[in-house]
A and B are shown apart, each in its own frame.
Chain A
């Protein structure tokens, strides 16, 4: 029988698991935590965007927003199903936190997780307008794509496969946001100022979702084969991606990047 050190060595060399029975306790726990964070973020993200469907200026925008809400909930369900294979109480899980609850716009909750709710903290902040929702979706959408790209092919194969399926759809959500942003930016200076305000508001909050540069947990996750790249490398890629996306939508923008 394989002991835990053999399994850790197996993982650190790129080995994979395909079933919950194989996973040692700490691995299983970190995996569950990662899945919980994804599920909570998708559920609370969907809950936040749902409020703005009615504010979409045209049918195309309303449909895009509806699609994002629908698919994010579907992604949450797919990963929650995998959590269920580990014995998570799936029915109970869906109702354990008020997913649409938000803190005040001006509150600063830092990076501390709140009350066992595992959503990324950016999803605790409220969206204040249609333009704000488009900007948030562009910025967090790109972050999600980069972060999921690192999780795809992770050492727990069923989750890696689920993220591989989810990734192109999340990429489409971010693209829908960028299309919307280009349209908005064409509406004149007042609109552009609103975009600037939103970019400045969301920038540090989205950047914080990448975690601290010297995170012990990230190192452990890399040892487990659940993550591959460093927090810093992912953040760097996001900054690059943002300067392209924002400047193509909005030539005059000169924010924090």
Chain B
């Protein structure tokens, strides 16, 4: 199971007017948990006005750089990104889960592969990680990056990309496509839409000779790029997608009240039977589901989707009444016999008995 660990902010660098690059250090005991694969992201949590917010940001470092950092672009109205851009300082602590995500392909150091990368705005962050890692680990491979931005001042990692080009002479090509600025060649101004991609692929970039493509940016751009890649002969399974980092919805907001403040609210005494053992836990009515209360009490209850669909958390209600928020899994006859999805069940009565063994 994933856990949150406190990471220390060791550096903050302003990259553009509205983005920062934050370097983080895990606590020594969790060092191993923060080894990452190129293209992965970190999920942070923070409580704002009593509500827990979770946000995910891609790691923008190569796997062998010996450094953990994320790029955070300020989004209008985005609490977390505004806070990180305006208030976060060196020495602060950020709570993060271990790296997750699958925006990568296995490295093959002996092969000479041709990679294509497409980034829109802050979609560059996981691509920085991929570019650095691939050019370092696959000495014969090349990388072509197509990078779309509003204007030149919005380009994140601009200098660092230039440095990478010089470091890996002839192996990294970068095509900037800028929306609000006219370039000498029309090809390099405008948006990364289907038309632009078709033009780039017919004149500038050899899609047929490419082995893999990685796309990260807003949804319409990702669709346009992938459609054009397919139309130019790339196999669907060679195209990897990562939704725009700041578009990660994170998990649903959750009231942080569940732990302490709920003491004022009504309680239910829930007896939970599992593997023949009964345990009594106290449950905050209207705050916790039966499953959440069981897990909070370290009861090894089964669950998977937590959304009322997979039915892994099914149990029989022996005594009392519950309300189920959603039920896409149980048949009517099961509900009639008293079965409930514990991930969706809130007690109505002051006492319930739930049996996972039946």
Contact = CB atoms under 8 A, between A and B. Distances in A.
B41 interface: yes
Contacts of B307: 25-26, 28-29, 32
B111 interface: no
A9 B304 CA distance: 26
A100 interface: no
Given A32-B304, A88-B303, 13 more contacts: A1-B78, A1-B247, A2-B218, A2-B243, A4-B249, A6-B219, A7-B219, A22-B243, A25-B307, A29-B307, A36-B305, A89-B1, A153-B236
Given A13-B223, A113-B331, A88 B237 contact: no
B305 A18 contact: no
A76 to B, nearest CB: 14
Contacts of B244: 2
B308 A17 contact: no
The residue among A21, A28, A89, A161 with the most chain B CB atoms within 10 A of its own CB is A21
A198 to B, nearest CB: 30
A86 B102 contact: no
Contacts of A14: 223, 226-227
A13 B334 CA distance: 37
A251 to B, nearest CB: 39
Interface string B246-278: 111111100000000000000000000000000
A56 B243 CA distance: 50
Interface in A1-59: 1-2, 4, 6-7, 9-10, 13-22, 24-26, 28-30, 32-33, 36
B301 interface: yes
Contacts of A208: none
Contacts, number: 141
Given A15-B219, A113-B331, A164-B237, A86 B247 contact: no
10 contacts: A7-B249, A16-B241, A18-B240, A21-B41, A21-B101, A36-B305, A93-B312, A96-B302, A116-B311, A161-B102
Interface string B194-236: 0000000000000000000000001100110011000000001
A158 interface: yes
Nearest to B220: A10
- Counting contact residues on chain B (CB < 8 A from A), the size range is 35 or more
The residue among A16, A157, A158 with the most chain B CB atoms within 10 A of its own CB is A16
Contacts of A86: 304-305
A108 to B, nearest CB: 16
B211 to A, nearest CB: 15
Interface residues of A, number: 46
Given A19-B100, A89-B303, A89-B304, A153 B310 contact: no
A88 B304 contact: yes
A254 interface: no
B84 to A, nearest CB: 15
Nearest to A85: B100
B43 A21 contact: yes
B133 to A, nearest CB: 16
B219 A10 contact: yes
A87 interface: yes
Interface in A217-249: none
B75 interface: yes
Contact of B241 (A17, A32, A164): A17
A7 to B, nearest CB: 7
A83 interface: yes
B100 A21 contact: yes
Contact of A116 (B249, B300, B312): B312
A153 B237 CA distance: 7
A33 B309 contact: yes
B329 interface: yes
Nearest to B81: A1
Contacts of B248: 19, 21-22
A18 B304 contact: no
Contacts of B305: 28-29, 32-33, 36, 86, 88
Nearest to B356: A96
Nearest to A27: B307
